[in-house]
Amino acid sequence: MVRFWASVWTQALAIGPSECLGLRQKPDPTGESSAMLVLSRKKNESIVIDDSIVITVVEIRGDKVRLGIQAPKEVPVHRSEVHAAIHSEQAKEGPPTVFPAEA
């Protein structure tokens, strides 16, 4: 048993801690790379983000996965295409008009 764990630890050191933790480098839309944590979950298993957001695998059907997301009301949750459309519309509108405060 000790030999097995020594082998796993040696492999972990060889590939680096970020690969061991499931982190993958992913280019963002600006071309810069950022780390992505990759986790495996089964039906009815969850992940927790910052003690306030819980993402649960509700159903797996073929190549589709249904996720349940519990988050505070003040945290916006959108599919990526909806998020992109919202930001596209906001960019077209320009920055909000700020009026000077009345004295």
Q: Note whether residue 96 is domain-resident.
A: no
The pair of structure tokens assigned to 7 is 């082998």
The answer, yes or no, to whether residue 94 has pLDDT greater than 90, is no
Question: Are 28 and 48 in a shared domain?
Answer: no
Residue with tokens 């004295």: 103
Question: Are 47 and 23 in a shared domain?
Answer: no
Q: Note down the domain range covering 18.
A: 1-38
User: Is residue 53 classed exposed, middle or buried when 0-12, 13-18 and 19+ CB atoms within 10 A define those classes?
Assistant: middle
Q: Note whether residue 90 is domain-resident.
A: no
Overall domain count for the chain: 2
Question: Are 30 and 52 in a shared domain?
Answer: no
pTM for the full predicted model: 0.58
Which residue intervals of the chain are DSSP H helices?
2-15, 17-20, 80-93
pLDDT computed for residue 55 by the predictor: 96
Q: Note whether residue 30 is domain-resident.
A: yes
Q: Note whether residue 88 is domain-resident.
A: no
Mind listing the pLDDT tens digit for each residue in 38-72? Answer: 999 999 999 999 999 999 999 999 999 999 999 99
Question: Are 2 and 30 in a shared domain?
Answer: yes
